[in-house]
Chain A
């Protein structure tokens, strides 16, 4: 089902009959059930006109001759409206949920987000958590703070600074402290120089 909907990405449907036909095809595959009520599971052209009038489907701006050209966003709006109707939500609530939603948001609402979903969820969770940290960043400091000599921009007097640090244990007895705004070396030569500096530093403990 997911792929069937996602295959429609970027497609255009010239005229209401064509748009209604594709919508009906996909909805038939979605097998939406409605036990009660007067709402049709598969919309006809008249129903779609009603949705357009009610603002549930955005009126297409593009025309070919006299025919309106519907797009993927319109299709997602139609499918979402039908899905939510099948769940017995009132039109008012459906309008609230569908209004102003992007293609991606409607895909999520429909539950058909594609292969990129894992990545987007991952970055979504990460971005969200980072946004939560933003006002509280000063509190995150390393447990065993690096000496002033190694990290002169950290206030060692006790009050936290604006930088945040993460401590990673490389192996027992050796830790790496990384500031949040640190950028790793971008070339192999710079990486090699950095590795040499670390090797030189830890060799003192032999």
Chain B
């Protein structure tokens, strides 16, 4: 197959920067991996997607009884239907005990697998950690070197049996990811621990999903599977090397750092852009100066490769007088990206205030973010995405008045912030 690189674009609010003064510059970095090549006639040995090696780890504790269990079974069966005979699947079910309902096997007998899933029923409490480990173990028996090895953990409750320490489990999820097995988590309803499931997926190289209503479960499974199938690269890191006189002040996406000081980015999905915003402090430059503002090193491992690639690019800007800069309109994509990432931070701040019992403060933070977004994006007229964002912030602020929905409201905030930061 032709080796295509991700496309990396740089945008600033205005194409040229003002000379003669120190300034803070927002740079939008848009990374777009090539879309999956669907013309299979050109690649007879390519199935159009990587092989999947999945373990579904399904909560069957007592609280799952009823609609949630029915929908979870349906979603698991849907998953079986979507898999190919070259994929592998295992199913681990857990309450206070863990059963490997079937170990990792090629998906060649779908009726049998679905029949086994159909007989899963709810009971007991939640040994989440060990069930996740057991799921990982079934995968590690048949690790795919170039396919996708992933545990998909689905739960509606809190880890209350075995290891329950959030930091320890998150650290372990990262350790497992470094050994080739990623973890995605699906939290159902209002009673699971988002402070465990979200960081676990982030550290585990997978996705975090929140299912509010049981009937949405199949849709989430579909999105997760589509994401797996379209995965272009994993183990993605970003190095930013500013020029002399330039300093990186902030990466608004708040990505964690690797051991070597790089930003750890989410997996890259074919055809789906990942937007990052970096804030730079730039010293005063003379008019006419062409400054190589920033060097970028994007490290990634293609899904169909063993070794890492490093893509190296630089962004150069020109400094001109204020009168030359001012007439140019601001780039609305940059303004929007900055604002949405600031809103992710506002959501996280509101959650912290909720945890401290400061509901008025949380409401104020969210309403403030909505107003700031409206103000910043006003020059661009009615943009559907901006209107949707403002409505979501206002709705979250208003829902704080209804304390009965605290837990669900906090989860919605957490997952919306995560979605903004990771582009998922």
Contact = CB atoms under 8 A, between A and B. Distances in A.
Interface in B149-185: 149, 161-163, 172, 175-176, 179-181
Given A89-B260, A121-B145, A143-B99, A126 B115 contact: no
Q: Pick from B96, B134, B181, B306 the residue with the most CB of A within 10 Å.
A: B306
B241 interface: yes
Contacts of B102: 168-169
A89 B241 CA distance: 10
Given A112-B307, A172-B115, 19 more contacts: A93-B261, A111-B307, A111-B308, A121-B180, A122-B180, A124-B179, A125-B139, A125-B143, A125-B149, A125-B180, A128-B175, A132-B133, A133-B137, A139-B161, A140-B98, A166-B100, A167-B101, A169-B116, A172-B112
B254 to A, nearest CB: 23
A136 B162 contact: yes
A139 B127 contact: yes
A164 to B, nearest CB: 9
B265 to A, nearest CB: 16
Contact of B312 (A33, A117, A132): A33
State the majority secondary structure of interface residues on B.
mixed
Interface string A112-138: 110001100110111011101101100
Interface in A11-44: 33, 35-36
Interface in B47-85: none
A168 B100 contact: yes
Nearest to B163: A136
A16 B307 CA distance: 30
Nearest to B244: A36
A112 B314 CA distance: 27
A141 interface: yes
Contacts of B172: 132
A122 B392 CA distance: 44
Interface in A128-161: 128-130, 132-133, 135-136, 139-143
B129 interface: yes
Interface string B89-109: 000010011111111000000
Given A87-B239, A117-B306, A133-B130, A128 B100 contact: no
B interface bracket (residues with beta carbon within 8 Å of A): 35 or more
A97 interface: yes
A102 interface: no
A2 interface: yes
B200 to A, nearest CB: 13
A88 interface: yes
B310 interface: yes
Interface of A: 1-2, 33, 35-36, 84, 87-89, 93, 97, 111-113, 117-118, 121-122, 124-126, 128-130, 132-133, 135-136, 139-143, 166-169, 172
15 contacts: A33-B312, A87-B260, A87-B310, A88-B295, A125-B143, A128-B175, A129-B140, A132-B133, A133-B134, A136-B162, A139-B96, A139-B130, A141-B97, A143-B93, A167-B101
A168 B139 CA distance: 15
B406 to A, nearest CB: 31
Interface in B219-267: 239, 241, 259-261
A121 B261 CA distance: 24
Contact of A125 (B134, B179, B261): B179
B62 to A, nearest CB: 15
Given A89-B260, A132-B172, A140-B130, A126 B97 contact: no
